[in-house]
Structure formats: C-alpha cells, structure tokens
Structure 1
C-alpha cells in the first residue's frame, strides 16, 4: 500500500507540516506580516530526506501564499533555492 502524504497549515505554531501516514516528518516555519509570509526554517526528518518531501511541503505552502494574495520572503536557504529553481513561483518572491 502506498504511503499517504499530506501538508497542512498549523497557524497556532506558525508552520506548514508534512505528514506521511499521519506521522509528522517535516515542517516549514514562518512569520506573518501584513503583506508577506517570511519563511524562516524548513526541516525534514533524517529518515525521509531525499524523498522529495521538502519540495512538496514548500510547493503547498507557496500555493497557500498565492491563494491569500501575499508574497514570500525566503530567509530559509531551502525555500530560497526552491524559488530560484521554480520560475512558476518567482512572482511570489519578495526579493525580486
């Protein structure tokens, strides 16, 4: 049976979380300002690195940012690299 992967936003903890079969395996922490989401840190559990979960997590978070009409300020190097590699999300990048 294939693993089920879900991304949810925990506003109380100021982070998006990614779960595999209901087990928390990573998160993208942020701070909210009136106009943007500042991504401060992204982490994936060691046992799940290299599975593409970080990219799925950031993509889902940026989709939410876009849906809310906000911009993204990537302080986190992982989110910076994701934005640099994905032109379809660069319109959200506050550095540009």
Structure 2
C-alpha cells in the first residue's frame, strides 16, 4: 500500500477519517452509533484521483476500526466495491439479527 507513512486522522468533530496527501485532504464521512461506524461517503479531490489515495484511506480506516474493536456498515459505494476486491475485511461488518 502506498502512503503508509501518512497518518490517518479521526476528526471526530466533523465525523471524518482524513488522509492529507501533498497538502490535499481526502476523507470518509461517517456516523458513529455505539460501537458501529456507518461509512457514508468517500471523497478524494479530482486533482488527486487515480493515485490510490481512496484505497489507502479505506485500508487505513479498516485498520483503525479493527484496532479499536469497532464494526462498520459500508453505505458508501466505493467501500462496497473495495470489500468485493478485499473480502478479508468483511470480518469488520456489523451483523444485525
């Protein structure tokens, strides 16, 4: 994965997981309910598209969720597509009975 040296920021005030590359901020918008994170929208500015930033952002977010024993509901279509390519992360999906 590229960008491993760039830290993921959990900006709880505005409910964003953020990655800043070359001074440009990309983010995943989320809502937290208890131990479940609803991943709503991934956004990478147009000038940064095609550089693997969205994938790095998702990967870092998943690692963060795993480290903090959180589960996720992937509402974002990019994240849903990412999970199809990387099914090992489905272990983080929240299960509702």
TM range (shorter): 0.7 to 0.9
Which protein has the bigger strand share?
1
In structure 2, C-alpha distance between the alignment counterparts of 1:30 and 1:62, rounded to whole Å: 13
Measured after TM superposition, the shift of residue 35 of structure 1 is 2.5
Runs of 5+ consecutive residues of structure 1 not aligned to the other structure? none
* TM-fit CA distance, 1:88: 2.1
Give the Cα–Cα distance (whole angstroms) in 2 for the partners of residues 42 and 50 of structure 1: 14
Q: TM-score, normalised by structure 1?
A: 0.86
* 1:20-68 Cα distance to aligned partner (Å, 9 max, x none): 13x1331001000112100011100000101000000011111111111
Which consecutive aligned stretches of 4+ in structure 1 deviate over 4 angstroms post-superposition?
none
In the alignment of these two chains, the number of paired residues is 93
Asked whether the equivalents of residues 42 and 76 of structure 1 are also in contact (C-alpha less than 8 Å), the reply is: yes
RMSD over aligned Cα atoms: 1.9
**Structure 2 length normalisation: TM-score?**
0.85
Counterpart CA distance in 1 for 2:28 and 2:46 is 15
SS of structure 2 residue aligned to 1:12: coil
1:79 is aligned to 79
Once the two structures are TM-superposed, the CA of residue 95 in structure 1 deviates from its matched residue by 6.2
Partner of 1:60: 60
